[in-house]
Amino acid sequence: MEKVKIKEATVVYIEKPKLRNPVLIEGLPGVGNVGKLAAEHLIDEIKAKKFAEIYSNDFPPQVFVNADGTIKLVKNELYYKRTRKGKDMIILTGDFQGMSPRGQYILAEAVLDIAEEMGVDMIYTLGGYGIGMEVEKPRVIGAATHPEIVEELKKHGVIFKGEEGGGIIGASGLLLGIGMLRGFKGACLMGETSGYIVDPNSARQVIKVLTELLGIKISFARLDEKAEEVKRITDRIKSLEKSLIEKEKKEDLRYIG
């Protein structure tokens, strides 16, 4: 690898695959980590291959330590997958989003540059839609660059609020917003989530809609396992809280008695 100078967005290619009409799918850390969970699950299930890394001096200045004691600089990653029928896929995921507005814009534009070069015309951005309370059956909320995509998404059960003024913050919004100005089409799929905890169950709903839209089938087993693990942990916390409250009640009674 050559001498790398890390700017707001420095792309390091591992390979430059030729793809047919690929769609770009983005899932970066955010509300409930829904987008990142969804993107990672997709990458694992379709066995997508990493072809580029993006470093940025707008990411936190740090490395992560792997289980074997080696380190890795924080980054975003781009994967691809060729499909027999239908469109090929590019998937963006990573450790962080840019920390400043400026960095966010520059990173989004760097991704759009890659997308343009590789022939992408449709972008799906994935994220969480925080509603501030637990949700058993998360719906998928949508937004899109063009009215005809809104109509298409509605057919797949995606919900549109029909109100003016909501906002989509970060890469999921910017890739579509800047993308529109550059001629891309796209949609944002947001799984309802409490916003308090990582939410594999919400990610499952998002990825379910996405795979339907893309006409592919994948297993959700691993995401279901993660969802169950999170449920076990939250249930344990709730049960602990309950027994604590009951203990306190008993002690209160003792004082009275």
Nearer to a second copy, 56 or 205 (CB): 56
Instruction: Please pick, from the candidates 23, 37, 54, 108, the single residue that binds a second copy as defined by CB under 8 A.
Output: 108
CB of 98 to a second copy, least distance (A): 8
CA–CA distance from 153 to each of 185, 187, 212 (Å)?
A: 13, 9, 10
Strand-strand pairing, 76-81 and 23-26: unpaired
Which residues in the 123-142 window bind a second copy by CB under 8 A? 142
How many residues make up the chain in this entry? 257
Q: Looking at beta carbons only, is 188 or 227 nearer to a second copy?
A: 188
Interaction pattern, residues 165-194, with a second copy; x per rule: CB under 8 A: xxxxxxx-xx-xxx-xxxx----x------
37 makes contact with a second copy (CB under 8 A): no
Query: Residue 175: in which H helix or E strand, if any?
Result: helix 171-181
Crossing angle between the packed helical segments 200-214 and 34-45, to the nearest 10 degrees:
50
Q: Distance between CA atoms of 227 and 76, rounded to whole angstroms?
A: 24
102 part of the interface to a second copy, by CB under 8 A: yes
User: Taking a C-beta distance cutoff of 8 angstroms, is the pair 80, 42 a contact?
Assistant: no
Contacting residues toward a second copy, per CB under 8 A = 1, 3-6, 12, 55, 57-74, 98-99, 101-102, 104-106, 108-109, 116, 142-147, 150, 153, 160-171, 173-174, 176-178, 180-183, 188
